[in-house]
Structure 1
Amino acid sequence: MQSVLDRIPLRRFPLRHRVAAAFALVSLVVTGLFATVTWNVAALYLVEQRVEGATRQADGNVALVERTLAANPRGEGLDDLLTGLAGTPGITVALHRGGGWTTSGRTVELDDLPSPLLDLARSGTPARQRVLVEGVPSLVIAVPLDGGDMFVEVLPLQLLDTNLRLLGWILTVGVAASTVLGLGLGHWAGMRALLPLTELARAAGRVAGGDLSARLPDSSDAELAPLVATFNRNTDALEQRVRRDARFAADVSHELRSPLTTLINAVAVLRRRRGELPPTAQQAVDLLDGDVHRFRRMVEDLLEISRSDTLEREPWELGALVRGLVATRSGAPVPEVDAPEPVTVPVDRRRLDQVLGNLLDNADAHGGGALRVGVSARAGRGRIEVDDGGPGVPPEQRTAVFERFARGTLAGRRGDGDGTGLGLSLVSAHVRRHDGEVWIEERPGGGARVVVELPGEAG
């Protein structure tokens, strides 16, 4: 049968929180056990000391009463003696003699005292008991006298009870403070212990975001050093492979430009003499012309993706850039530019123009044309939204469309579109270089909305 702890979903909590909770639990158990033992030992000691002292005092009082009664059988001076014995405030002294009670000190109802205690004293056996007398914790001592008489003393334990309560509160506060201290110490220890993992996760995130220069600092820890060395070695290998692939793509694209230029010129000649060709040849020329131009755009996109030159950032007003780009486009529906306030961010103008151009081209190819381009500021970041009225992008494809050669529903189909499959991939690469984000969501009213957020001072 599983225990209660086994049924608690501890794995849902972060590891550092579980470490902190473990420290707090251990601290609670240890200090709680220590406080319990301390309180019990202290209470037992204090109560025993009080009871033993009161018993010795009662024995001495009984000896005085017996000597007085021996010297004066009629009880002369007994009242004065009892008054003296009850001199301490709160103490009650009572003598049962001749069938009646003689009392002095604090007034209590003697009939309310425990009957078994009094019966035991009447039978000749001294007895004592801790009880509540009129709401006050008290110690009742009953001692038998010669001739069937009985001496009873009621001593209040209110001060002792107050001290024990104070000790209990002090120990409780100490346990609570120790638990909080354990929680804080566990949180600190968890953060310190997980710091290498945090650095590893941060470095891995940078690598996943395209920053292949991310490395872990060298560690002298015997357990962490192999992990650091393995991560840095794998990252080095990944960076070299990516650079080789980029160099290969750049070299291939560059080498393709010369024969591609020859093809374009040859197709241009054929286009000028198209009227002299038979119908079948004319169709072949048309197909060749479209594929050659798409091939040229693909080579240009590959060259752009493989470029590793640094960003030349300057502060630009996004609304003005969007309006200028939309105004220069022709042969396509003119989208509405929604930029109610200036939004300025530091960007590379050339790359941002390419991002906007590719997004508008993508909307023309797959969404029936862009309907709206919105510019706004969100929490210190510049935001660009490109809306179209097309069928939208299914949620399961909204990440895949940013991969290279992903053309959505047109992938693998010839002649249904002239896209290269690299437009959104290039958009994602440029946005990542700006430390920004790009994603696709559903446009209110139907269609797709591509959102680009760029960091920087917006205003």
Structure 2
Amino acid sequence: MRVVKLSLRWRVAVAFGLVSLVLTGALATVTWNLASGYMLRQREDSAVVQATVNVRLVEASLRAGSGGLRDLLAGLTTDSDSTVLLRRGDGWLTSGRQVDPESLPGPFMDFADGGLPARQRVVVDGVLVIAVTMPVATDGSAYVELYPLPQLDRTFRFLSGVLIAGVATSVLLGVTLGSWVARRALRPLTELTDAASRVAGGDLGSRLPASADPDLAPLASSFNDTADALERRVRRDIRFAGDVSHELRSPLTTMANAAAVLERRRDEFGGTARQALDLLTGEVDRFQRMVVDLLEISRDESDDVHPTETLDLGELVSAVVAVRPAPTPGVDRDGSPVFVQGDRRRLDRIIVNLLDNADHHGGGPVRIGVTRHAGRARVEVDDAGPGVPAHLREQVFERFTRGLRAGRRGDDVGTGLGLALVAQHVARHGGTVDVQDRPGGGARFVVELPEAT
């Protein structure tokens, strides 16, 4: 069973909610006990006072010997749910809501029979009442009165509802406050994470804002110093690669020209010399392409701004295909134009490198498609090769990676920079590139770019 672990922000929010629950719950419990106890005592004291007054009226009626005792008892009932019982020698006289004296608790009735005053909260026929008994001094009778508590019960229900609602509201406010406090407290960590992610994604100019907080200022300063050092190091490496590549162009051109002269006179050489010449011309040609690619990479990384224009992606791909010397299938296009905003030179290079990759590693391209997919412009290049294993599908876009053919010489296996340039140019345009399995076998390289409206 997988355990879902809450984030730090939610753990803080839940902690605030639990603290609010404990505090407001304890306060609500104390409030309930004090309020309910006080109201019950007040009601009981009021019932005893009322019963005392009623007993005096009964005693006065008995001393006067009038025959209106039943009418007096009827007048003593406060409402339809109250009950007055008077035990005399010949039985019980009852007024108000009819209640069987036998339904009253035995210990309470023992006080009544013994002529002792008593009070007790009891439930009679489903109604909560305060039962009060007092002796009648005139003839030793027992006076019992039952005071219903429906109004007090409604008050208790309302009070409990208010307290429960207050506790729930307090918990909700505690969670909200905890979430807000956690978000405020973790904002520097969030900014640090975002800045680190941008740096990891290639935005070497990303920095943390200066902070006046004495606890956060060293963190921001340390991160910015590290980012500055990293940017200087990367810029220095880029300049070094560009300078080396540029300086190599002149001697490399001389070597290529010399190799071309020797190639034109290859029939004059013997078998071993001819093989050496073939190896030399192949390596010089690969070296030339590597230098060109290194210059392209260094220029692209050092160029923060590149010109853009709105381009018909289908027309651009068709133009690239039309000038290729190798046989290339036509472009499978959507019925309507697919426009993108980008740099024509870099987009041309993306298509050229994908087609070269298919020629060198995939047995040549078998399909080139320009479509729309989920609101984005999409270019698909299918080849007839063995495909790319799943564990190499990210590595093939790294520099100097030639997949399963890495380390081989003699064959035209490329420089290992073509797909790295594709990934770099696509990222410049805010797009993505990946490789998939082609239906029927082979690889499908997919480039997706934001569509221009």
**d(CA) in 1 for partners of 2:331, 2:451:** 25
Q: Deviations over 1:139-159 (max 9, x none)?
A: 122223455521111111000
What's the counterpart of residue 162 of structure 1? 154
**d(CA) in 2 for partners of 1:48, 1:191:** 49
Q: Deviations over 1:279-335 (max 9, x none)?
A: 111111111111110000000000000002321111112122122222222324426
Unmatched runs of 5 consecutive residues or more in structure 2: none
User: Is 1:235 the equivalent of 2:227?
Assistant: yes
Closer, same or farther: CA 69–28 of 1 in aligned 2, 3 Å: same
| Selected match of 1:110 from 89, 96, 101 | 101
**d(CA) in 2 for partners of 1:231, 1:442:** 42
Q: Give the 3-state SS of the residue equivalent to 2:278 in structure 1.
A: helix
TM-score, structure 1 normalization = 0.92
**d(CA) in 2 for partners of 1:45, 1:8:** 51
8 Å Cα contact 2:329/2:368 also seen in 1: no
What's the counterpart of residue 431 of structure 2? 436
**d(CA) in 1 for partners of 2:380, 2:59:** 106
**d(CA) in 2 for partners of 1:38, 1:389:** 80
Equivalent residue runs for 1:46-61 within 5 Å? 46-61=39-54
Q: Deviations over 1:56-87 (max 9, x none)?
A: 21122223223332343xx6332232122114
**d(CA) in 1 for partners of 2:194, 2:367:** 37
Q: Give the 3-state SS of the residue equivalent to 2:67 in structure 1.
A: coil
**d(CA) in 1 for partners of 2:157, 2:344:** 75
What's the counterpart of residue 190 of structure 2? 198
User: Is 1:138 the equivalent of 2:129?
Assistant: yes
8 Å Cα contact 2:338/2:451 also seen in 1: no
Equivalent residue runs for 1:283-432 within 5 Å? 283-307=275-299, 308-309=302-303, 310-334=305-329, 336-432=331-427
**d(CA) in 2 for partners of 1:125, 1:446:** 103
**d(CA) in 1 for partners of 2:386, 2:255:** 36
Q: Give the 3-state SS of the residue equivalent to 1:43 in structure 2.
A: helix
| AA aligned opposite 1:33 | A
How many Å apart are 1:116 and its aligned residue?
Answer: 2.8
8 Å Cα contact 2:402/2:413 also seen in 1: no
**d(CA) in 1 for partners of 2:373, 2:12:** 37
Q: Which stretch of structure 1 is more off in the superposition, 427-436 or 282-291?
A: 427-436
8 Å Cα contact 1:144/1:150 also seen in 2: yes
| AA aligned opposite 2:25 | G
**d(CA) in 2 for partners of 1:349, 1:165:** 76
**d(CA) in 2 for partners of 1:340, 1:196:** 50
Regions of 4+ moved over 6 Å: none
What's the counterpart of residue 62 of structure 1? 55
Closer, same or farther: CA 446–169 of 1 in aligned 2, 3 Å: farther
**d(CA) in 1 for partners of 2:87, 2:440:** 99
| AA aligned opposite 2:370 | V
| AA aligned opposite 1:344 | F
8 Å Cα contact 1:335/1:370 also seen in 2: no
Q: Give the 3-state SS of the residue equivalent to 2:143 in structure 1.
A: strand
Unmatched runs of 5 consecutive residues or more in structure 1: 1-6
How many Å apart are 1:231 and its aligned residue?
Answer: 0.8
What's the counterpart of residue 261 of structure 1? 253
| AA aligned opposite 1:348 | D
| AA aligned opposite 2:254 | T
**d(CA) in 2 for partners of 1:170, 1:47:** 19
| AA aligned opposite 1:454 | L
8 Å Cα contact 1:375/1:385 also seen in 2: yes
**d(CA) in 2 for partners of 1:231, 1:111:** 86
**Percent identity at matched positions?**
57
**d(CA) in 2 for partners of 1:446, 1:214:** 43
8 Å Cα contact 2:310/2:452 also seen in 1: no
**d(CA) in 2 for partners of 1:190, 1:375:** 47
RMSD of aligned residue pairs (Cα, Å): 2.1
**d(CA) in 1 for partners of 2:2, 2:129:** 47
Q: Which stretch of structure 1 is more off in the superposition, 419-428 or 395-404?
A: 395-404
TM-score, structure 2 normalization = 0.93
**d(CA) in 2 for partners of 1:418, 1:393:** 15
**d(CA) in 2 for partners of 1:341, 1:99:** 109
What's the counterpart of residue 15 of structure 2? 22
Closer, same or farther: CA 383–148 of 1 in aligned 2, 3 Å: farther
Q: Which stretch of structure 1 is more off in the superposition, 76-85 or 215-224?
A: 76-85
